[in-house]
Chain A
């Protein structure tokens, strides 16, 4: 239930309905992913590192017999690594043919954003292309991730 309108070359996203997002955080920054892109959210697992791959690919996990790569959003955002805590989660998303896990510091809630603004060129320290929009809430701004971009970058 989303309408896309092009205005002066800028993509403006309007939340026409009540699209649901999973809101999560890294440090104090808040991000969100559309709920239908998410396969499941699991606790942190044993990650087998793969040598000589892009740094933000942390490795692979065994998700019920399936080998799933996991990436670190921290590293993607060029934030320093931090030890995993009780709240650390892996958000498993489906992206095209692949299943990919994204490590986040904590998962907050399911949210809807009535007010979504187009992303600035650079936001929250990373490339604005990563965002589909910025959700405005009482508790602050939420970067809504554009999975196509976030996951595409790795393959370059």
Chain B
């Protein structure tokens, strides 16, 4: 029971924390703060109520102080200042820590006393300053409530449907120890029979009150008669007395009976949440299992298809045609099924993107920069594992953009740009995948500086530095051990930067591309597949064996005459649209014989990303198909240049090439 509530509580907590995050950021930007403060206040209030109900004392205390402080802001007793916003952020971080404690089921280890004290002193100092700001919560408490329009509507609805609407006045027995909890139980049992439109005092505010009153009133609607209702309530535990009065129909004369003192904490009606679509929670393992099963189906279907083809070449009768039809139908069903399962695993990238505004705010503050963040395509969906995996590389890129990309305001002014830099993070579906752009309008990357830096770090000889093109120089950024920041800041640049980003993305069968104009900005483009488990692969022959190259790693496929191959310092290369691309014969690396050069042309598959493109020489192209990635198992372990394996239509096992592995391998070899 308790753990169930805990789940619900944590979900709410997460929601509210995210809301607070957004709202505090807005507070920092907007001039129109009234509405923002109001929603922040409401969030703090909600958390206070629910954390108190769950018995998380620290959280209650902290949110209480926040609420108190915000209340003063709300009353204009306290102005919104950057100090205030910092304090709010600090409290928010503290709340997040508390949340972590709850998730870990620790008995709170996070110390909140510092934060609470700060909040208190801040509030106190403002009170001293703004001396006469008399309106405090307690005074407000006695003002008379009105039934909100929502409630009125519900009353009307109840009348229309023929249900009775009653005020239930009940008094708890004086022995009742945990009044708040008892009232919750009563409240929920009433909800089981009908609907509670209103409660006095408000159920939400109950938990935080030290002095839960014995007398409570509920505005209740249900199909029971007055007498039935009275008996039902009276039978509940620890109810000492109960009175049920029908609500009079005339809205103008609706009276609640002056029985209870009440307290309205929220001035506004809380916003009515839109009806949620019906959902159930499913564990990730189940979804993974489902995906595996679909994978098996895909494999088996490829096999059926293959059988059909061989049968068709051998005999042509109706049964083969029928087999073909069935196979086609099966293929449609399987792809539908696959899509559905994939969709079930997908989440909007919003989850990840929502973390950025806060991060950017902290970064720009620390670095003394001004920046506008533009986020687009929040609702782009991709596989949840991918979202998790892409988080670190993305964060790294963003940090880099803010740290190295965007210039300081003064520099920007000098360069004739606006003071404020712009960072755009965009996600969108493209082809059969997702692309994410991280684009800044900062200084761009200077190829000359890249050369110098590479020279200084010994990554290049001076001869090489002179030879490489600007584009290659820029792409040095992806080399291991490369970092242009002359001062290693704590934000980015520990020398383990972009190469990790790249290899991480390539591990996900993705590509990263860089585009930069000196003085105008830099754009990173990350291309990712929609899912990890099933990919489109290009089947190629090396000698007699079939290998698979993930389609997402392939930039193009070319067929060139042998005599176009040139040699640069012992390395075969081709010149493709003025870009020099080394040719790799995997045959050599895999210890299989190279194809004989009887043919006049050579088939090359260009793979890789911005930093390094490679032309893989293959003996033949066998077409592309959907493949299910299977590991080679722990017995074989990790094999160089091999990402995994799959089962082909003919039942044979084919190995999937790992492009990032090949690139690294080549890099290592050329480094020697």
Residues of chain A having any CB pair with chain B under 8 Å: 46, 48-53, 57, 59-62, 65, 67-69, 95, 97-100, 151, 154-155
Q: Could you tell me if B634 and A97 are in contact, using CB atoms closer than 8 angstroms?
A: yes
**In the complex, A79→B169 CA distance in Å?**
93
> Could you say which residues of chain A place their CB within 8 Å of the CB of B634?
97-98
**In the complex, A60→B635 CA distance in Å?**
11
> Could you say which residues of chain A place their CB within 8 Å of the CB of B396?
none
Q: Could you tell me if A67 and B645 are in contact, using CB atoms closer than 8 angstroms?
A: yes
A60-B653, A61-B653, A62-B652 given; A48·B645 CB < 8 A:
yes
Show 18 A/B contacts (Cβ-Cβ < 8 Å), sorted by A.
A48-B645, A48-B652, A50-B632, A51-B642, A51-B655, A52-B590, A52-B641, A60-B636, A60-B645, A61-B653, A65-B300, A67-B647, A68-B633, A69-B636, A97-B634, A98-B633, A100-B635, A155-B637
Q: Could you tell me if B640 and A52 are in contact, using CB atoms closer than 8 angstroms?
A: yes
A48-B655, A53-B636 given; A65·B296 CB < 8 A:
yes
Does B162 interact with chain A (Cβ within 8 Å)? no
A-B contact count (CB 8 A): 70
Does B631 interact with chain A (Cβ within 8 Å)? yes
> Could you say which residues of chain B place their CB within 8 Å of the CB of A51?
589-592, 639-642, 655
**In the complex, A57→B545 CA distance in Å?**
17
A57-B636, A97-B634, A100-B635 given; A50·B655 CB < 8 A:
yes
**In the complex, A154→B637 CA distance in Å?**
10
**In the complex, A65→B641 CA distance in Å?**
23
> Could you say which residues of chain B place their CB within 8 Å of the CB of A65?
296, 299-300, 647
CB within 8 A of B635: which of A48, A49, A61, A154?
Answer: A154
Q: Could you tell me if A62 and B591 are in contact, using CB atoms closer than 8 angstroms?
A: no
> Could you say which residues of chain B place their CB within 8 Å of the CB of A68?
633
- Shortest Cβ distance from residue B489 to the other chain A in the assembled complex, whole angstroms: 41
Does B390 interact with chain A (Cβ within 8 Å)? no
> Could you say which residues of chain B place their CB within 8 Å of the CB of A154?
635
**In the complex, A67→B296 CA distance in Å?**
12
> Could you say which residues of chain B place their CB within 8 Å of the CB of A53?
636, 639
> Could you say which residues of chain A place their CB within 8 Å of the CB of B635?
69, 95, 98, 100, 151, 154-155
Name 17 extra pairs, CB < 8 A, besides A60-B653, A69-B635.
A48-B645, A50-B632, A51-B589, A51-B641, A51-B655, A52-B591, A53-B636, A60-B632, A60-B636, A62-B647, A65-B647, A67-B631, A67-B647, A69-B633, A97-B634, A98-B635, A155-B637
- Shortest Cβ distance from residue A125 to the other chain B in the assembled complex, whole angstroms: 24
> Could you say which residues of chain A place their CB within 8 Å of the CB of B592?
51
- Top 5 closest A-B pairs, CB basis? A51-B590, A48-B653, A98-B635, A69-B636, A67-B630
- Shortest Cβ distance from residue A95 to the other chain B in the assembled complex, whole angstroms: 8
Nearest residue in B to A95 (C-beta to C-beta)?
A: B635
> Could you say which residues of chain A place their CB within 8 Å of the CB of B639?
50-53
**In the complex, A98→B628 CA distance in Å?**
20
**In the complex, A95→B635 CA distance in Å?**
9
- Shortest Cβ distance from residue A102 to the other chain B in the assembled complex, whole angstroms: 12
Q: Could you tell me if B589 and A49 are in contact, using CB atoms closer than 8 angstroms?
A: no
Q: Could you tell me if B652 and A46 are in contact, using CB atoms closer than 8 angstroms?
A: yes
**In the complex, A53→B655 CA distance in Å?**
13
> Could you say which residues of chain A place their CB within 8 Å of the CB of B130?
none
Contact bitstring B581-615, A, C-beta under 8 A = 1, else 0: 00000000111100000000000000000000000
Nearest residue in B to A52 (C-beta to C-beta)?
A: B640
